[in-house]
Amino acid sequence: MMNIAVFCSGNGTNLQAIINAVKSRKLKSVKIALVVSDNPGAYALARAKKAGIKTLVVERSQFAAKSDFEKQIIGSLKKENVRLIVLAGFMRIIGEDILREYKGKILNIHPALLPSFKGAHGIKDAFDYGVKATGVTVHLVDDKMDHGPIILQEAIPVKGNDTLESLESRIHKVEHKLYYKAIDLLVKGRIKIRGRKIGII
Ligand code: GRF
């Protein structure tokens, strides 16, 4: 059994998809030991509580330095024996303390085909740019935003009659089926990292 923590700042639909995958045993040998949020108002916290998962709220504004904020989080992760961090709409850049402690053990999901359209508005930026295809990327986290080696990626065509809302909804559906698959690969030790390239065995 691998204990994981899911970090969220908002709605938490990706968290919900992971909770559902664990419950339905599509994702086995995983326990969501903690949900961490930097936002006390995040709906993700209500989802976690409903599922009986422990939660931790840590607000960045309560700490003078980022390092103190991260050390507080690391303390709770250690206490829960967390071995993998899953970022699911966590709107903060992971700093050097957490990166050092969980090197190669942090996943992120981004709603665009990286390296295009990094940042907080990947769906809208791709839509406004007029791309004919965008998608979803699950990657390992390194010290640059939306940058680490790619585990899974799925392209999604943009249709002529798409609105931002219709595109968003298709992208979220793909996110919800892709993320737990990437977690499953990692938990099963099926990921081999060679530089930027990830092989799946
Ligand atoms: C998702 O689109 C994810 O790719 C991005 O933030 C969004 C989070 O949505 N990083 P939710 O909170 O999981 O509903």
Output the pLDDT for position 75: 98
Looking at the fold, whether 150 and 185 belong to one and the same domain comes out as yes
Looking at the fold, whether 4 and 98 belong to one and the same domain comes out as yes
Looking at the fold, whether 80 and 127 belong to one and the same domain comes out as no
pLDDT in tens, 125-146: 999 999 999 999 999 999 999 9
Measured by CA distance, the residue closest to atom 9 of ligand 1 is 89
- 88 close to ligand 1 (CB < 6 Angstrom): yes
Total domains in the fold of the chain? 2
Domain end point (choices 81, 103, 125): 103
Output the pLDDT for position 195: 94
Rounded to two decimals, the pTM is: 0.97
Evaluate whether 45 touches 55 at the Cβ level (below 8 Å).
Answer: yes
Give the atom of ligand 1 at the shortest distance from the alpha carbon of 16: 13
Looking at the fold, whether 118 and 190 belong to one and the same domain comes out as yes
Looking at the fold, whether 65 and 135 belong to one and the same domain comes out as no
Looking at the fold, whether 86 and 127 belong to one and the same domain comes out as no
Dihedrals phi, psi of 127, to nearest 5 degrees: -60, -50
Looking at the fold, whether 66 and 136 belong to one and the same domain comes out as no
Output the pLDDT for position 156: 98
Q: How many Å is the Cα radius of gyration of the chain?
A: 16
**What integer is the mean pLDDT of 17-40?**
98
Which domain does 166 fall in, by range? 110-201
pLDDT in tens, 142-164: 999 999 999 999 999 999 999 99
CA atoms within 13 A on the CB side of 110: 30
